[in-house]
Amino acid sequence: MASVTAGIARRNARVALTFAIVIIALCLATLVSALLGQYPIGVGEVLRSLFAPLGLTEYPHEPLAFSTLWNIRFPRICLGLLVGAALAVAGAVMQAVFSNPLAEPGIVGVSSGASVGAALALVFAPHALAGFSVPLAAFLSGLAAATIVYTLSRSQGKADVIVLVLTGIAVTAVCTALASIATYIAPTTARDHIVFWQMGSLNGTVWSHVWIVAIVVTFGIAVSFTLAQQLDTLSLGERAAGHVGINVQRLRLIAITLATLLTAAAVSYAGVIAFVGLIVPHVMRLALGPVNRVLLPASMFAGALLITLSDLAARTIIPFADLPIGIFTALVGGPTFFILLRTRLRMGR
């Protein structure tokens, strides 16, 4: 009994330490992201700009600093936090549903589907709906692609995991081809926008984008947290989950829908950002274990941290240039994925 109690205490201490490190790093990264840019701003100006609207301090002495923060940097930072959290939680949910630590949201075709919608909107109606045509088309086409994957994979009222994955690969291939056709027929300017969108970017973010994404992401993450205990039970196997009263097919449908919703909301304004939904929950699982009650919130904070750091590098590493975020998530995710893979091979798993 004493050894079990000591083991639980060590686990709780490890969880608390991991959360503390990730949250502190996220706060520091957010502050640094507000400080740095083409127009450097001091810590005092950032704090005054943040708390002055609440009446807690005086407004900054430099009006340009206040305007830069509230019109450019704060919206971009907030959207990055939401996008990172959404993609990471979606990845954690998908990995729990498929009982596979290498699953990720793109497996149901949502990212490739969103690329088709965004590409077509950029070619045929880039300025329609007061500029909302591209994110709306990306959001709807991402949901449509995931719906097609799930519908085509059903047989006798059930969706087998292997069939779902293979159907997702097929639909992704078709969506990639359609997006390539749209890119080919697009004018030069639109073609550049399509390529840049497919690599992910937070450039040009405004508060209206943040509020729209925040509503969807907050709802999706909140519902995902309520499913954590059922997802933990599902990890014991479909038969064991069924014995305790869990409707496995219904749970799987809800979880996949939530992951699709979170991913579609994230990519609709930020574009396709790879590896976040794959690497972040996988690393958090290695650090904290497979319990989703802990893993989901940890992935949420870690995903927000990764996107914040990637966006900071994207807009500061080259002066007067705004690089795609996907470059940096791939630079981090690719080697990390390889290291994790080699580690599992050495362990014989």
Q: Are 272 and 114 in contact (CB under 8 A)?
A: yes
Q: In the beta sheet, which residues pair with residue 158?
A: 155
For 45, residues 6+ apart whose C-beta sits below 8 A from its C-beta are: 60, 61, 62, 65, 66, 69
Amino acid letter, 145: A
pLDDT at 157: 64
For 9, residues 6+ apart whose C-beta sits below 8 A from its C-beta are: none
Helices marked H in 99-201: 110-124, 133-153, 161-185, 188-199
For 315, residues 6+ apart whose C-beta sits below 8 A from its C-beta are: 37, 203, 321, 322, 323
Distance CA 116, CA 137 (A): 8
Amino acid letter, 18: T
Residue pLDDT, tens place only, 37-80:
888 888 888 888 888 777 777 777 778 888 888 998 999 999 99
Mean of the pLDDT values across residues 288-308?
92
Helix (H) or strand (E) holding 245: none
pLDDT grade, residue 7 (50/70/90)? low
pLDDT grade, residue 24 (50/70/90)? very high
Which tokens in the block code for residue 233?
Answer: 């039970």
Helices marked H in 36-132: 43-51, 63-68, 74-98, 110-124
**DSSP of 189-220, one letter per residue?**
HHHHHHHHHHH---TT--HHHHHHHHHHHHHH
For 248, residues 6+ apart whose C-beta sits below 8 A from its C-beta are: 234, 238, 241, 242
Domains plus CATH for the chain?
18-346 (1.10.3470.10)
Q: What is the mean pLDDT of the chain?
A: 85
Residue pLDDT, tens place only, 72-118:
899 999 999 999 999 999 999 988 888 777 777 777 788 888 888 88
Residue labelled with tokens 């519908």: 151
Least confident of 165-179, 184-198, 307-321: 184-198
Three-class secondary structure of residue 132 per DSSP: coil
Relative to beta strand 158-159, strand 154-155 is antiparallel
Rg, Å, the chain Cα set: 21
| % of the chain surpassing 70 pLDDT | 95
Which tokens in the block code for residue 45?
Answer: 């100006």
Amino acid letter, 10: R
